[in-house]
Structure 1
Amino acid sequence: MTQTILLAAGGTGGHLFPATALAQELTRRGFAVELATDERAEQYGTDFPARAVYRVPSATFTSRKPLAVMKTLGRLGSGFLRARRLLEMVQPHVVVGFGGYPTLPPIMAARSLGIPTVIHEQNAVMGRANRLLSRFADAIALSFSSTKHLRRSAEKRAQVTGNPVRDAVLSYRNVAYVPPEPAGRLLVLIFGGSQGAHFFSEMLPPALERMPSPLRWRLTVVQQVRPEDLASVREAYKQADIAAHLAPFFRDLPERMANAHLVISRAGASTVAELTAIGRPALLVPLPHALDNDQLENAMRLEEGGGGWCLRQADITVERLSEELERLFGAPDMLAKAAAKSKAMANTDAVKKLAELVEELAGPEE
């Protein structure tokens, strides 16, 4: 009898991408995989490798005002009841959560039904939902050996697996980095996730426009841009005489990452894991309002390993960013060294380690 594993992941790339990687590996091992998520997942397409995808009501605590807290608790309670009915129907052998408040209802429902649970933390700082769930999860999978805010009571149930990376990313693992030639094109990939693209839309066009003409004319920019910013950003690059390909979302992002000479992005855990899996140099600007500064921790780990550079948003001006980019584009050897060090930091066995942990909890087939 085929064993079923239910994955619970909030509808953002940072949670869905490692869940996708695990789903692919579990399917190869003969498991049936199903997904519980929220409505945001639709922006990433409907191609998640699962037998079925379920929407479970959830909410995030965005305010401490009593009315807002009560509303959030009410929606989480509704999600718990929906998740419990779902688990009774699906009867999974293990439920795996990937962090974020949308994982609370499925993991707590699994706990109430006695179903084994695993939570996975992608960041170097344990998220608030995972901190709560770590009180009773049967196993805790970490991406970093040193993870801030891991409860002491949870340490015995924790093990380092790394952050799983999708097959679509690993397929570019063996594509060698080719540094820019002295008079050749400079391909820059810029993306920032749903929360971070607006800052780049405001900052990058004027920063690139300030660069010396010989460098500016060599640029080809591929940039993720919010729909409401597309027209203004397109016009800004046109006025700067810079070739630019703009879109709200790139479904072929791993391929574009592999082709880039430099990546400029936020520092989400999945972004950093994918950069190192492919081995590309990056200029990271952590999201300044991220809870617990988890993106700053991620970016600093990459910088300390020599795989990229971290700039805090509060320290960035158009002038400084332009100078930094001119410095990087003028040093192809430095970009190549960063690419090699980035690649050396990758944990390509992460998905296998996490799958083995899930397989162990599932136990032998009946």
Structure 2
Amino acid sequence: MDNAPLILLAAGGTGGHLFPAEALGVELIRRGLRVRLATDGRALRYSGLFLKDSIDVVPSATVRGRNPVSLARTVLMLGYGTMVAANVVRRLKPSAVVGFGGYPTLPPLIAARLLGVPGIIHDANAVLGRANRFLSSRVDAIATSLPGVLDRDPALASKATTVGTPMRPAILAAAAVKYGSPEMGGSLRLLVVGGSQGARVMSDIVPPAIEKLDPALWGRLIVTQQVREEDMARVRAVYDRLKINAELAPFFPDLPARLASSQLVISRAGAGTVAELGAIGRPSILVPLPGAIDQDQFANAGVLSQAGGAIRIAQGDFTPDRLAAEISGFAADPAKLIAMAQAARGVGRLDAAERLADLVMQVAEI
């Protein structure tokens, strides 16, 4: 195994980037290859495939504005990170470097380019992220989760392959769970998640929406909701007053299993979330994060909504009245949820890790 080819994976230190990297890593190891992860310091808290002794921390910085001083600091930090990454690449001698988005991928992939090591990027969004857009002309291959991402750029489209989003083992296990079809007059299991940037709006809108429902529905609801600590008391007070069966927490470590057991998901529309909803096949109400430069979440949600697997609601239209109307409609006609679950499942790709591993081995000539 020590002599097996090494693939260096590069990812930002958030789950949306790390989870696909983990899924690819699992598949590459299954094929007899070695893997390591290059990322920023946030990933040291990560407890998945990559242990601390298989992680190389590379300095990086994120472009957060147009202030000249801030931009200069970012460029200097990325330049320093590229020097560190070049030393890592020289030491490890990887057969290829695979990036999964986020600014921490810039130094390893730039270093790979400078040292003649094949580079591949994967983007899970319906539009390329800024870091991947910068790298797109500097790598040998581009893997996308969704078709048509680069149709408007023939030069890039020629080296693009649609593979889907690699799914970690917990999601693949959840995908094997059959959708629990709601019954007329039976319980309705809601899962409400928002991530660190989205949980506040869910805490603001979902409890008052549930309060607006016909009281006869309150006893049928089983609510699991991600709630930030600072919002916990006020959200719990509403559900306790209405006697809603609710489980609240800032974070659910078993989220894939909870996705599998849910009958309706209310969520932001991050690339990972949308891909997991498709893989598992669960109906959803998606509220894209507003204000993003590329409107990537709006485009991500559009993939499921156009397929009939989700309802996309802009945050400005995401009101208690609108949400209450949607939930009431589903409760009155559960067949809609069954149809949406099937439509979402039609978008999902369960073999994405295998497809991406095929591409990596082809580019690395393994």
**What's the TM-score, normalizing by structure 1?**
0.95
* Corresponding residue number in structure 1 for 2:111: 109
* Corresponding residue number in structure 2 for 1:73: 75
320-329 or 350-359, larger mean C-alpha shift: 320-329
Amino acid paired to 2:49: F
* Corresponding residue number in structure 2 for 1:11: 13
Query: Unpaired runs of 5+ in structure 1?
Result: none
* Cα distance in structure 1, aligned partners of 2:69 and 2:343: 49
* Corresponding residue number in structure 1 for 2:259: 257
One of 100, 103, 108 as aligned partner of 2:102 = 100
Whether the aligned pair in 1 keeps the contact of 2:62 and 2:103 (CA below 8 Å) is: yes
* Cα distance in structure 2, aligned partners of 1:328 and 1:58: 46
Give the drift of 1:261: 0.8
Q: 1:253 to 1:42 in 2, by over 3 A?
A: farther
Q: Give the secondary structure class of the aligned counterpart of 1:184.
A: coil
Output aligned runs, 1:192-341, within 5 Å.
192-341=194-343
* Cα distance in structure 2, aligned partners of 1:49 and 1:340: 34
Q: Give the secondary structure class of the aligned counterpart of 2:138.
A: coil
298-307 or 168-177, larger mean C-alpha shift: 168-177
One of 39, 43, 46 as aligned partner of 2:41 = 39
Whether the aligned pair in 2 keeps the contact of 1:131 and 1:150 (CA below 8 Å) is: no
Q: Give the secondary structure class of the aligned counterpart of 1:291.
A: coil
* Cα distance in structure 2, aligned partners of 1:215 and 1:42: 44
* Cα distance in structure 2, aligned partners of 1:233 and 1:94: 48
Give the drift of 1:148: 5.1
* Corresponding residue number in structure 1 for 2:176: 174
61-70 or 153-162, larger mean C-alpha shift: 153-162
Q: 1:197 to 1:47 in 2, by over 3 A?
A: same
* Cα distance in structure 1, aligned partners of 2:43 and 2:246: 27
Whether the aligned pair in 1 keeps the contact of 2:151 and 2:157 (CA below 8 Å) is: no
Query: Unpaired runs of 5+ in structure 2?
Result: none
Give the drift of 1:82: 1.6
Aligned length: 363
Whether the aligned pair in 2 keeps the contact of 1:19 and 1:98 (CA below 8 Å) is: yes
Give the drift of 1:149: 8.0
Q: 1:61 to 1:297 in 2, by over 3 A?
A: same
* Cα distance in structure 1, aligned partners of 2:325 and 2:214: 10
Q: 1:350 to 1:90 in 2, by over 3 A?
A: same
* Cα distance in structure 2, aligned partners of 1:231 and 1:115: 53
* Cα distance in structure 2, aligned partners of 1:56 and 1:112: 16
* Cα distance in structure 2, aligned partners of 1:221 and 1:350: 31
RMSD (Å) for aligned C-alpha atoms: 1.6
61-70 or 324-333, larger mean C-alpha shift: 324-333
- Is 1:118 the equivalent of 2:120? yes
Whether the aligned pair in 1 keeps the contact of 2:287 and 2:318 (CA below 8 Å) is: no
Whether the aligned pair in 1 keeps the contact of 2:142 and 2:159 (CA below 8 Å) is: yes
Whether the aligned pair in 2 keeps the contact of 1:165 and 1:270 (CA below 8 Å) is: no
Write out per-residue CA displacement over residues 200-235 of structure 1, whole angstroms, 9 at most, x where no aligned residue: 111111111111111112111111122322233222
Give the drift of 1:103: 0.7
Write out per-residue CA displacement over residues 14-56 of structure 1, whole angstroms, 9 at most, x where no aligned residue: 111111111111110111111112233355x322346601222
* Corresponding residue number in structure 1 for 2:163: 161
* Corresponding residue number in structure 1 for 2:61: 59
- Percentage of identical aligned residues: 48
Whether the aligned pair in 2 keeps the contact of 1:131 and 1:151 (CA below 8 Å) is: no
Amino acid paired to 1:234: R
Amino acid paired to 2:264: L
Amino acid paired to 1:46: S
Q: Give the secondary structure class of the aligned counterpart of 1:171.
A: helix
* Cα distance in structure 1, aligned partners of 2:134 and 2:229: 36
Whether the aligned pair in 1 keeps the contact of 2:267 and 2:286 (CA below 8 Å) is: yes
Give the drift of 1:195: 1.4
Amino acid paired to 2:272: S
Whether the aligned pair in 2 keeps the contact of 1:300 and 1:310 (CA below 8 Å) is: yes
* Cα distance in structure 2, aligned partners of 1:207 and 1:39: 39
202-211 or 227-236, larger mean C-alpha shift: 227-236
Whether the aligned pair in 2 keeps the contact of 1:221 and 1:243 (CA below 8 Å) is: yes
- Is 1:22 the equivalent of 2:4? no
Whether the aligned pair in 2 keeps the contact of 1:125 and 1:149 (CA below 8 Å) is: no
* Corresponding residue number in structure 2 for 1:48: 49
Q: 1:229 to 1:89 in 2, by over 3 A?
A: farther
Give the drift of 1:330: 2.1
Whether the aligned pair in 2 keeps the contact of 1:97 and 1:103 (CA below 8 Å) is: yes
Q: 1:318 to 1:134 in 2, by over 3 A?
A: same
Amino acid paired to 1:152: P
Whether the aligned pair in 1 keeps the contact of 2:150 and 2:156 (CA below 8 Å) is: no
* Cα distance in structure 2, aligned partners of 1:177 and 1:355: 29
Q: Give the secondary structure class of the aligned counterpart of 2:137.
A: coil
* Cα distance in structure 2, aligned partners of 1:148 and 1:219: 42
Write out per-residue CA displacement over residues 304-339 of structure 1, whole angstroms, 9 at most, x where no aligned residue: 111111111111221121112211222211101111
Amino acid paired to 1:272: V
